[in-house]
Amino acid sequence: MDATSPRPVVLVTGASAGIGDAIARRFAAGGYDIVAVARRKDRLEQLAADLAGIARVQILGGDVSVPGIPAQAVDLALETFGRLDCLVNNAGSGKWAPVHETDDATLDEVIDTSMKAPFRFCRAAIPKMGPGSSVINVGSVFGTLGGLDGGIYCAVKAGLVGLTQTMAAQYGAQGIRTNLVAPGVIKTDMTREAWNAQGFQRLNHEMTPFNREGTPEDVANAIFFLASDQGSYINGQTIALDGGWSTTKYLCLEALTCDRVAT
């Protein structure tokens, strides 16, 4: 083991793409060393190469739903850097189907990847974290509002809100904060196909007060803020990152002037 690193350390799951990749890069720019976990090791190796000279990156190629992986990742942080300051539970399954079309294999996959795995990462990490550290779970606005066809995806994201709140109560007194970010629809591999549909684009563009799409970097910036001293009194919160989509009844003027006949 290194002597305890003078730099803070973040463990990011799902760092091989999309939002997780942006989180790793944001924390590296903010002075953290990184433990990056995902199945696609080649992508993690590329991330580590990109960040050479900026941050030290330890990678763990593996499936977060395998029960031993969370403790292995936490041990890697401790063995390499001697500390763990922030855990970001970002990896998640994007399986999306209505309840009546969800088979047991899908049910198990989403629960294992997006609920059991974050729980196990928290369980492994918390005993190793000290005052001033924090956990950030990546949920979804569809976990706080529900959503057509959301099925088990919405259910597990709602479950993460409950996990966040109980951890905030349980570990807050030790100075360990737990929060959740709930992105709206962000253009990543998970949503790329949906974005190709004109109806999906309209749904998002016309109901979002901001006249732009959210980016992985928007989510990463908020997570970095929550982990930082600037966020040091924020605990047990769900922060929506959706340009106001979920908290307003916004509809753009163009949509309002469309003809639609009620039936």
| DSSP E strand stretches across the chain | 9-13, 33-38, 57-61, 86-89, 134-138, 177-183, 238-241
Kindly tell me which of 174 and 248 has the beta carbon lying closer to ligand NAP.
248
To ligand NAP, the closest distance from the beta carbon of 233 in angstroms equals 25
- The contact set with ligand NAP (CB under 6 A) reads 14, 16-20, 38-40, 43, 63-65, 90-94, 113, 138, 140, 183, 185-186, 188-191
Structure tokens at 97: 């189907």
Nearest of 137, 96, 94 to residue 113 by alpha carbon: 94
Whole-number Å distance between alpha carbons of 237 and 134: 12
Sign, CA torsion 48/49/50/55: positive
Sign, CA torsion 170/163/177/10: positive
Kindly tell me which of 98 and 130 has the beta carbon lying closer to ligand NAP.
98
DSSP assignment string, 25-45: HHHHHTT-EEEEEES-HHHHH
- According to DSSP, the residues that pair with 129 across neighbouring strands are none
To ligand NAP, the closest distance from the beta carbon of 105 in angstroms equals 14
| Helix then strand then coil, % of the chain, to nearest 5 | 45, 15, 40
To ligand NAP, the closest distance from the beta carbon of 37 in angstroms equals 6
Kindly tell me which of 63 and 79 has the beta carbon lying closer to ligand NAP.
63
To ligand NAP, the closest distance from the beta carbon of 153 in angstroms equals 7
Catalytic residues: 153
To ligand NAP, the closest distance from the beta carbon of 187 in angstroms equals 7
Kindly tell me which of 118 and 231 has the beta carbon lying closer to ligand NAP.
118
The conformation of residue 4, written as its DSSP 8-state character, comes to: P
Kindly tell me which of 83 and 110 has the beta carbon lying closer to ligand NAP.
110
User: Quick one: how far is CA 213 from the chain centroid?
Assistant: 18
Whole-number Å distance between alpha carbons of 17 and 40: 9
